[in-house]
Structure 1
Amino acid sequence: MTDAAGRLSEMAKQALGRPLPLRLRAWDGSEAGPADGPVLVVRGRRALHRLAWKPGELGLARAWVAGEIDVEGDLYEALDRLSGLVWGRGETGPKRPALLRTLSALRDPHNLRLAAEALALVGPALPPAPPREEAVSRRGPLHSLRRDRDAISHHYDVGNDFYSLVLGPSMVYSCAYWEDSEATLEDAQRAKLDLICRKLGLRRGQRLLDVGCGWGSMVLHAVEHYGVEAVGVTISEEQAGLARKRLAEAGYADRAEIRVQDYREIDDGPFDAISSIGMAEHVGSPQFRLYTETLHRLLKPGGRLLNHQIARRPLRDEAAYEIDEFIDRYVFPDGELAPVGTTTALLEDAGFEVRDVEALREHYALTLRSWVTNLEKHWPQALQHTTAGRARVWRLYMAASALAFEQNNIGVNQILAVRTTPDGNAKMPRTRGHWLYGATKT
């Protein structure tokens, strides 16, 4: 077999009706396609077997995780050029991307010529086993306490040392707030935490609950700068261990508590304020009403909730929504995105009054690009703390997510809501200036 790249490119052109947007380099050393830009490297036929048996995103992702395909050059440019082929979205539901149509066509018995060419190039093979070492193992009913703990452990217990390389000293794993595009990642994460504290109106002596507290950064910031007493909950053992250590080293162990506890198990409210930063994406639509009702119950009348959450775009036919297979299998098991309108409606159904919504889409793109830069800069060290496959998963999903935010395929929003008093008093300032300019730290 010679000129595998040329044959692949020609087959793709016939099926797509246009050339592939990337240069290809195949396992036999042959190359084909545009001379400029990044190169998609196909290291063996097994990558094509994966695409043949799982057309579209999942087959590509499995080949990427296994190291059977790679990109030389700018990963963002490569993903951008491929985005129209691999990812798609229509007004009434996810559209069938061109690459998926093409690969499905190769398996169509009515398309005998293309199928014969594909068989000659790829060769007969049984379905290749997926690289399961990086995929989640799920047990029990969807969003049961046990299954959610397993899902969170898969994503967040990759290792504190690995995450410290990616996230930097802040150890904040959510969208930063870039008041200045030239700011450092640390500055932007500090600005985000402070903005949330101001929106919540935190002050000395109040009791804060941080749901999904991660490595304790929000708790630490609120205790240090706003004088609150704080409870942080996570269902990741590794996160909780490091969060407790950070609080102890800062001298705040007597003013904050970190628990390994599901939000559904919290029974020691009420709290003056609740922050939920990048946690609601894990809740899932079957449990989201319980989530909003639980947080409402845990707040004092007049207390505020800050819900910081990634959102997908709404579809005219919501029944057509499909969870991303790659993300579900390899990154955020059982996670689910909802439109911001759905989230605000469920918060209000639970009894909250929604007072402010701030979109931070562009901020998350900058944040993700910073994380990818950190991972690439520290790649040899990262491989000492996790497997090559897992590191490749994180690099791909963060880079692809940055593009998704930039292209307005997904967004992220801070929703500020309040549990009003029985007489309807929200105990809120009349303008946003209070948290933009007027809050005072201790």
Structure 2
Amino acid sequence: MSDGTGVANRLVPLLERVLGGPLPVRLRGWDGSEAGPEGAPLVFVHSRRAIRRLLWQPNELGLGRAYVAGELDVDDDLYQVLRTVTPVMQGNPARRQLSSEDRREMMKTAVLLGAVGPQPKPPAEEVVLTGEKHSKERDRAAISHHYDVGNRFYELVLGPSMVYSCAYWASDDPRYTLEEAQRDKLELICRKLGLRPGMRLLDVGCGWGSLVLHAARHHGVTAVGVTLSEEQAEYARKRVAEAGLEKQVEIRLQDYRDVADGPYDAIASVGMAEHVGAEVYGTYARQLSGLLRPGGRLLNHQITRRGPERTGPSFIQAYVFPDGDLLPLATIVEQLEEAGLEVRDVESLREHYSRTLRAWVNNLEKHWDQCVELTSPGRARVWRLFMASSAVSFELGRISVHQVLAVKPHPNGRSEMPATRGAFTSVD
């Protein structure tokens, strides 16, 4: 239809009100009509229910719910769609709220399309947590929501390395694999921490055990890994046993706040601090500082945000990292130093993370049918949207990831740190 009465033609002004700017994609409605910029990425609106969701949640969350439910989809490259939509939605952090006029016009459109009705139930993959925020019980539930979805699912998405954090792409050779990049990331961490045989390493948020296994095998340390995920702990213990490293590596189902057997020579926190929460980040920093011996090092690898904190309903909060927070780099450095640590090195791996995420999305799409069978169609769509949108946000510079290396100085100020960065910032 091209007479202006088709579904797509009516949806364009509605979505422009939701986005707060000109529609950067082309729409195809459930009646086959199309509208929007010629040559722009094509988005399908399969159902009136998608419009009803936007009436109740005219924001990122409403769009995300419709995508997870399969009511919205993309015909073109998902990255291209996200690269066009993200700047419109996030370009102005102080974007105005919908006015009364906006809402009236949206309602008129919904009436014409037969989309008015009660608020649809959110997809089953959406999480609602109860209890005090960042209590140990609630944090355990948040971690379980994200990680206890089946180890086989993560094997398919992450690949053999089973590392769920930014890889370190030390080569541009097209034959260089994700597994090699993750191996080099683990080695980079071990070098920054100055690991040597006989040292004690604590890995906070150890995941499936890849770092503690690498450190024990290649650097001769005794390692403790802690996680709140039962499935991760079970998987990591099995890997430790298969490697014959039970005397060197211990995996605990334990909150980082309950670790009390310091001092450690080194502590790694890789992709875990995003879960900690802004309200208790000082507690996190003091706990890790208290577990280090004088001269001991902390490697804190964490996604950071640039610009002001976003407000309003968030797809990531509802479906991926409930209660998680992205902090500015300056806040992280300040909190670590207030806890008695001295920050000695900061490295941004922003471009490395976008490449890592694209590799994970490629794995997910390659094994799509298996991933759906292991979880659900909605869960697979959550991970696809989350990882692709995160890749775009890294590429646009809206978020970054930093490795912050800190040391706990001796009372006399001695740090035991090498004189130059070259001693620990490269891998062979």
TM tier, smaller: over 0.9
1:177 has 2:168 as partner:
yes
Runs of 4+ in structure 1 displaced over 4 angstroms? 10-19
Does the CA-based 8 Å contact 1:37-1:74 persist in structure 2? no
1:313 has 2:306 as partner:
yes
Does the CA-based 8 Å contact 1:209-1:271 persist in structure 2? yes
Alpha-carbon distance change, 4 to 350 in structure 1, aligned in 2, over 3 angstroms: same
Alpha-carbon distance change, 239 to 37 in structure 1, aligned in 2, over 3 angstroms: same
1:45 matched to which residue of 2? 48
Which residue type is aligned with residue 96 of structure 1? R
1:222 matched to which residue of 2? 215
1:256 matched to which residue of 2? 249
2:349 matched to which residue of 1? 360
2:136 matched to which residue of 1? 145
Structure 2 distance, partners of 1:393, 1:69, is 13
Which residue type is aligned with residue 245 of structure 1? K
1:369 has 2:358 as partner:
yes
Structure 2 distance, partners of 1:116, 1:145, is 47
1:31 matched to which residue of 2? 34
Does the CA-based 8 Å contact 2:8-2:35 persist in structure 1? yes
Unpaired runs of 5+ in structure 1? none
1:120-159 aligned at under 5 Å gives the runs 120-131=112-123, 133-159=124-150
1:200 has 2:193 as partner:
yes
2:157 matched to which residue of 1? 166
State the shift of 1:152 in Å.
0.1
Structure 2 distance, partners of 1:410, 1:350, is 25
Alpha-carbon distance change, 337 to 13 in structure 1, aligned in 2, over 3 angstroms: closer
Does the CA-based 8 Å contact 1:48-1:122 persist in structure 2? no
1:78 has 2:78 as partner:
no
Structure 1 distance, partners of 2:368, 2:325, is 29
Which residue type is aligned with residue 165 of structure 1? L
1:96 matched to which residue of 2? 95
State the shift of 1:367 in Å.
0.5
Q: Percent identity?
A: 58
1:235 has 2:228 as partner:
yes
State the shift of 1:14 in Å.
9.0
Which residue type is aligned with residue 191 of structure 2? R
Which residue type is aligned with residue 425 of structure 1? R
Pick from 52, 61, 69: which aligns with 1:58? 61
Alpha-carbon distance change, 324 to 123 in structure 1, aligned in 2, over 3 angstroms: closer
Alpha-carbon distance change, 202 to 125 in structure 1, aligned in 2, over 3 angstroms: same
Matched position secondary structure for 2:156 = helix
TM-score by length of 2: 0.94
Aligned residue-pair number? 423
1:106 has 2:109 as partner:
no
Alpha-carbon distance change, 14 to 374 in structure 1, aligned in 2, over 3 angstroms: closer
Matched position secondary structure for 1:27 = coil
State the shift of 1:384 in Å.
1.5
Moved more, 17-26 or 244-253: 17-26
Does the CA-based 8 Å contact 1:354-1:418 persist in structure 2? yes
Alpha-carbon distance change, 16 to 285 in structure 1, aligned in 2, over 3 angstroms: closer
Does the CA-based 8 Å contact 1:210-1:231 persist in structure 2? yes
1:325 matched to which residue of 2? 314
Structure 2 distance, partners of 1:215, 1:23, is 42
State the shift of 1:371 in Å.
0.5
Structure 2 distance, partners of 1:11, 1:323, is 19
Report the aligned-residue RMSD: 2.1
Matched position secondary structure for 1:107 = helix
Structure 2 distance, partners of 1:87, 1:157, is 31
Structure 2 distance, partners of 1:327, 1:18, is 22
Matched position secondary structure for 1:134 = coil
TM-score by length of 1: 0.91
Moved more, 114-123 or 19-28: 114-123
Matched position secondary structure for 2:265 = strand
Structure 1 distance, partners of 2:404, 2:20, is 45
Which residue type is aligned with residue 46 of structure 1? R
1:119 matched to which residue of 2? 111
Which residue type is aligned with residue 294 of structure 1? Q
Unpaired runs of 5+ in structure 2? none
State the shift of 1:135 in Å.
1.4
Which residue type is aligned with residue 143 of structure 1? H
Matched position secondary structure for 1:70 = strand
